[in-house]
Amino acid sequence: MGFDPIEYIYSFSLFGRKGGYKPGLERISFMLEEAGNPHLKFETVHIGGTNGKGSTAAFLDSILQARGLRTGRFTSPHLHHYGERMMINNQPLDDASLVELVGEIKPIIEKVEKNTGEGPPSFFEVTAFLAFYYFAREKIDLGVMEVGLGGRLDATNTVKPTLTAITNVGLEHTHFLGDTIEKIAWEKAGIIKEGIPLITGAQSPALEIIKGRAEEKNAPLTILSEDYSWDRQEQRLEGQKFNLEGPSAKYNNLSIPLPGRHQMENAVLAVVLAEQLGVKEKIIREGLARAYWPGRLEVAGLQPLIILDGAHNLTGFEMLTSFLDDEFPGQQVVFVLSFLKDKDINPFLEKINHRAQAIIFSRADNFRAASPWALREMIKDEKIPVEVIPRIGEALARAREISGPGGIVCLTGSLYAVGEGREVLGAGEYLSRI
C-alpha cells in the first residue's frame, strides 16, 4: 500500500483533541524558511475575524479572478474534501498533486521537533505550510488567506500582506482567546502589520482595541460602518441586490448570490479590499455576481424548503435567526442540530426556540462532534418536541416528515454536519463546480 498523504497530515495534532491547539509561529516559521519562504513569493490579503472570513475571502477571490488574476484561497474547514482548503482559481488541490507535494515537504516537517525544540507541528500548521508551498509552486498572483484561530499566534500570521481585514469580533474559543470581546479583539488585532492598510467591520467594544492597535502600527484604517453605507434593494433565496456608497465611489444594484444581511457586509468588505487593490467597478460587479460559497444559508431542497447553514457560534446563530425572521416571519422551522463538544447549547437554543416546530439532535461523523443524547440532556426548555436521531441523513428524513412539503427544515450547528447534509441531499452543484 502506497503513502497516504491525508493519513499522514491527520496524524498531527488536531484542534479539539488534547494538545491539538498549538499557538506560536516558531514551527511554521522554521518550515517556511527551510522551504525558501514560499509565503513571500506572492502577494497576499490576510482576513481575520469571528464570522464571515470565508465568505469575504470567497467574494474577494471571485473578484480577483474576474480581473484575470491567478489566485490562491486558503480557508478552513472543508465541506467535503481536504483539498478544498487550498484552491487555485476555484479548483481544489487534487489527490495526485497532494501526494507529490506532501512527499516534497515531508522531510522538512520531520525536522521541526528536533530543530525548534517546540515539538512537532499541528495539523493546521502542516496544512498552512502545504498551502503556502503549493501556491508558490503554482506561481499564483495573489493569495487570499483566512486566519485559522485568533490571529496573533496563528500560522497564517507569517504572511507579509498587501492588505489586512478583520470582519467582526464575537465570543468564540474563549478557553484559548480570552473570555471577553476585548481580549479576543486583541488577539485578532495581532494580524495588523506596520504600515499595512486595515479594513474592518468590527463594532464597539472590539473596534476600540483594533483602532488602538492600528494606530500603534501606523496602519491606515478603514471602518466600514463609518466610511461606507449600504442598503438592500432586493432579497431572494438565490441572493440579493444592494446599493453601496463610499468616499470615492457609489455602486447601484450590486448583486451577490448569497442571501442574508450579514453577507451584504461581507461583500462590502470584499469590495473595499478590491478597491484598494485597484479593481474597477465593472470587474467588482462581475466578481461578486459569480461568487460561490456553499453551506451558508444554502437552499438544498424546496418541498419542504431545506436550508443548510454552517452557523457554529452565537453570532452565527443570530445571523441565521435574523435571516429567518426577515424572510419567513412567524413560520415554524424543524431544526436538525449537530454541535461540537464542550458547548453549552442553551444560549444557542434561546435564539431559535421561538421559531422551532421541533428539534432533532444529530451527530456529524467527526471526532469533535458532541453526542446527540448528551445534547438532549442539556435542554432546559421542555416545551418544544425534541428527538435524537444520530445519523444526519435519517435526521433530515425525519425532519422533512415532520415539516411536511410546505414547511421549513434547517440543518445547522456545524460545518461538518452541513457537509454531510449536502452529500445526503445531493446538493452536488459545489462538487461539479470544483
Q: What is the pLDDT at residue 432?
A: 35
Q: Are 321 and 331 in contact (CB under 8 A)?
A: no
What is the spatial distance between Cα 185 and Cα 150, in angstroms, rounded to a whole number? 9
pLDDT tens-digit map of 213-263: 999 999 999 999 999 999 999 988 889 999 999 998 999 999 999 999 999
Task: Choose one of 242, 262, 290: the last residue of a domain.
Answer: 290
427: pLDDT strictly greater than 70:
no
CATH number of the domain where residue 37 is located: 3.40.1190.10
What is the spatial distance between Cα 204 and Cα 168, in angstroms, rounded to a whole number? 10
What would the grid cell of residue 233 be?
Answer: 434593494
What is the spatial distance between Cα 320 and Cα 315, in angstroms, rounded to a whole number? 9
Q: What is the pLDDT at residue 343?
A: 80
161: pLDDT strictly greater than 80:
yes
Number of domains in the chain: 2
pTM of the model: 0.94
| Phi-psi category of residue 60: left, alpha or beta, with phi > 0 → left and psi -120 to 50 → alpha | alpha
Same domain, 315 and 413: yes
What is the spatial distance between Cα 134 and Cα 139, in angstroms, rounded to a whole number? 9
429: pLDDT strictly greater than 60:
no
Task: Choose one of 232, 258, 290: the last residue of a domain.
Answer: 290
Which residue, chain included where needed, has cell 476555484?
A: 90
Task: Choose one of 221, 256, 290: the last residue of a domain.
Answer: 290
Which residue, chain included where needed, has cell 498572483?
A: 141
Same domain, 78 and 209: yes
- Looking at every residue in the chain, the average pLDDT score rounds to 93
Terminal-to-terminal C-alpha distance of the chain? 28
What is the spatial distance between Cα 317 and Cα 325, in angstroms, rounded to a whole number? 12
Q: What is the pLDDT at residue 20?
A: 65
Same domain, 398 and 253: no
37: pLDDT strictly greater than 50:
yes
Q: Please, which pLDDT band fits residue 15 given cuts at 50, 70 and 90? A: low
What would the grid cell of residue 36 be?
Answer: 525558501
pLDDT tens-digit map of 400-417: 999 999 999 999 999 999
Same domain, 274 and 324: no
Q: Please, which pLDDT band fits residue 426 given cuts at 50, 70 and 90? A: confident
Q: Poorest-confidence range of 1-15, 35-49, 254-268? A: 1-15
Same domain, 286 and 343: no
DSSP class of residue 45 equals E
Mean pLDDT, residues 160-182: 86
Q: What is the pLDDT at residue 177?
A: 77
146: pLDDT strictly greater than 80:
yes
Mean pLDDT, residues 270-293: 97
Residue whose C-alpha is closest to residue 257's, from 274, 243, 237, 273: 237
CATH number of the domain where residue 392 is located: 3.90.190.20
At 8, is the secondary structure helix, strand, or coil? helix
Q: What is the pLDDT at residue 22?
A: 82
Radius of gyration for the chain, computed over Cα atoms and rounded to the nearest angstrom: 21
Same domain, 105 and 252: yes
Same domain, 365 and 429: yes
Q: Please, which pLDDT band fits residue 433 given cuts at 50, 70 and 90? A: very low
- Which domain, by its residues, includes 311? 298-433
Angle between helices 261-276 and 281-290 (to 10 degrees): 140
Same domain, 269 and 302: no
Q: Please, which pLDDT band fits residue 151 given cuts at 50, 70 and 90? A: very high
Q: What is the pLDDT at residue 136?
A: 98
62 CB-side CA count, 13 A:
23
pLDDT tens-digit map of 332-389: 999 999 998 878 899 999 999 889 999 999 999 988 899 999 999 988 767 899 999 9
